[in-house]
Structures are given as C-alpha cells and as structure tokens.
Amino acid sequence: MTEHTIDRRKLLTLGAGAAIGSFALTRGALADVISNAKIEGSADMAKGAQKSGKMRIGFSNGFSGNTWRTQNLASMQTEAAANKDKYDLITVDGQGDITKQVNDIEDLIAQNVDALLVIPNSGTAVVPALRKATRAGIVTIPFNLPVEGDNWTAFIGTDPKKKGATTGKFLNDALGGKGKIVALGGLPGNSYTAECWAGAQTQFGSGIEVLAFKDASWQEDKAKVVMADLIAAYPQIDGIWCDGGQDAAGGLKALMAANRPLVPATGDDYNGLLKLYDAQKAANPKFKIGCVSEPSWEGVVALRTAMKLLSGQDVPKRQIISPVLMDDSNYSQFIKKDLPDGVFVDTLLTDDELKKLFS
C-alpha cells in the first residue's frame, strides 16, 4: 500500500489549494484534524471516467440519528457549497431502515446521478444496488461503513478490524488480562460493529470473560438504558468495550446512576466521552479510556475522490484512514471543553461552525 500522512499542524498552516497526498484541502475548511492520521491507498487502482459539464452526486445516508452523521453531512454540504459550479449534491436519508436505503439508492440510479456515495445500513443488503449502479456507469463510493465484495468503484474509511484490535488490546491491558466485560455496539446488524468486535476479540486474553454483547445504536441515551439492564443482571462489570463513544458515555453514565465505580472503556472521538473522563478520572482510579476516532471528514474525501474519478483520474480503490489512539496520555490534545458533548473532535469544521451546528 502507498501511504500519505495527514498531519494536523501542517493542515493548519496550508493555504487554499495545497495538497495532502492526493487530496487538496481548502483553507476555509481546515480545523483540528487529529495529528498523525494516515490515509493508505491500495496498490489496485480505480479507473477514472472523464465526464464534462456540471455533475450530479447522490449521497445515500443510511441513518442520521447521531451527531457524527450531522457533522459528516455538514462537512459535505460545506464542501459542495464551495464547489457549486462543479456539481450538485443530492442527499437522501435511509432513517436506519435497510429496505428504505436500498429503495433510495434505486431512486438515485433512476435520476441518472454521475456518482453515488453511500454509508450503508447493511454492508450486504446494498450490494445488488451498488452493482447495478456500477454497471450503469455510475461512480460508486461507499464510505465509513464497509460493504461486502468489490462491486463499487472506491471505498474510503477506517479498517474496523484494526480499530477493534487496537481498542481490544487497550481494554485487555487496562484490565491486566482478566475481568468481566460487556460490549455495546451500534445499529443492529451493521457490518462495522461486527468487524470491530471481531478484531477486539483477537486481543482478549483467556482471563477476559464477555458477559454480554448488546446493540445500542450509537446513541448515548439508548446505551444508558441498555447498560442499566446489564448492571441489574451482572453484579460485577470490570470493563466496557464499545466501537462508538456515545455508547461508552451512556454506559458509563449508567454506572454513575447506579453508584458503581467507573471502569475502563473504549470508544471513538466523541467529545462527551473525553469530557466525562476529564471530569471523573480523579474520583475513579480504575477509570481509563482508549479511543480511536472515526473522522467525520470521510465524506469530504469521498466527494473529492468522486470528482477526481469523474475528471478522468485514477485513484486507489481502497483508501484506508488510520487514526491515532487517544488515551489518558494524550486526550487533552483533542478534547473540546467549551463545545457540546455531541461534537466529534476529528473534524474539518471550525469551532465556530460546530457551535452554530449544535446551537
């Protein structure tokens, strides 16, 4: 794989049109992207197909029920507004319903979009629709959540198994290789959580006992309810594995509501989790966090990749983002104490833009 390193300090000093690897980032969109994140491009390339005129790009957002999706969409809309002379962005919301999303994709195909971007609710269910779009000559780019097979033009996102292994190792080490844990995942049946969890389990020692795995839909309030039930069922819970920070924050707040001490937990770059750790670490000596971000700028990379392909340029078929681990040693570099809990800190949006978005 070829590797391009995105460095936060360089991003903050670049002027308009300067390039990071193969991606040009405009100065107006730059903010605190987490340092040392990398984009690794596969050796196999997707062939560009040059088209002329103003493009139409469809975006099938499988779900919009959390603030990561809000930030991702806002970033994409900001990007599209800056390029309104080059393309129109058409967005549809699957509302967490697998069947609705497939129908949404079929509708976008019928509208003859030039490119189709997708965050899938199910990495299996969307395969036939993406295959149909690709065969129709539409540039297809799933991002954020993985899709089975390779019936698409290019993929952009993190490696969930690798992320899961990183957080699994953190939790195993934080517990000294032994303890009773629970796991909270995202939307029921989503392939991202499944792969993260598979990666995490490869890192658990024989002394780690998994009490239960429950879906919490990447929603803090729901995770708090789910965790309350687990607390009632299990008198001893030594750790919480999560692929999302909202789930971790909800689970930890359920422990607080039950007057239980806080325990090691994993998550992502959800500001509410970082703020909770900052506020509670002194009173809870066993409390630790291990977080790997899911950059909310993936959609911007997807848009720019689509336009490169539509201009005839070849791009890596797989573009894998590898963020850093955030833990007690470095979380203070990323926490946004003056911004709402719902913010995801690995973002291209400025603090002012985030304040407006969440006001």
| Beta carbons within 8 Å of 320's beta carbon, 6+ residues apart | 1, 39, 40, 41, 42, 157, 158, 159
Instruction: List the 87-93 sheet strands across, edge first.
Output: 87-93, 55-61, 115-119, 139-142
Task: With beta carbons less than 8 A apart as the criterion, state whether 216 and 185 touch.
Answer: yes
Task: With beta carbons less than 8 A apart as the criterion, state whether 239 and 263 touch.
Answer: yes
Tens-binned pLDDT, residue by residue, of the chain (359 aa) = 444 443 333 332 322 233 333 333 332 333 345 655 788 999 999 999 999 999 999 999 999 988 999 999 999 999 999 999 999 999 999 999 999 999 999 999 999 999 999 999 999 999 999 999 999 999 999 999 989 999 999 999 999 999 999 999 999 999 999 999 999 999 898 889 999 999 999 999 999 999 999 999 999 999 999 999 999 999 999 999 999 999 999 999 999 999 999 999 999 999 999 999 999 999 999 999 999 999 999 999 999 999 999 999 999 999 999 888 999 999 999 999 999 999 999 999 999 999 999 98
Determine the straight-line distance between the first and last CA of the chain, rounded to whole angstroms: 42
SS3 of residue 246 by DSSP = helix
- The type of residue at 210 is V
The answer, as to whether pTM is greater than 0.75, is: yes
| Dihedral sign, Cα of residue 150, residue 119, residue 77, residue 31 | negative
- CA 164, 165, 170 angle in degrees (round to 5)? 100
Task: With beta carbons less than 8 A apart as the criterion, state whether 243 and 197 touch.
Answer: yes
- What structural domains and CATH numbers belong to the chain? 38-157+295-322 (3.40.50.2300), 160-292 (3.40.50.2300)
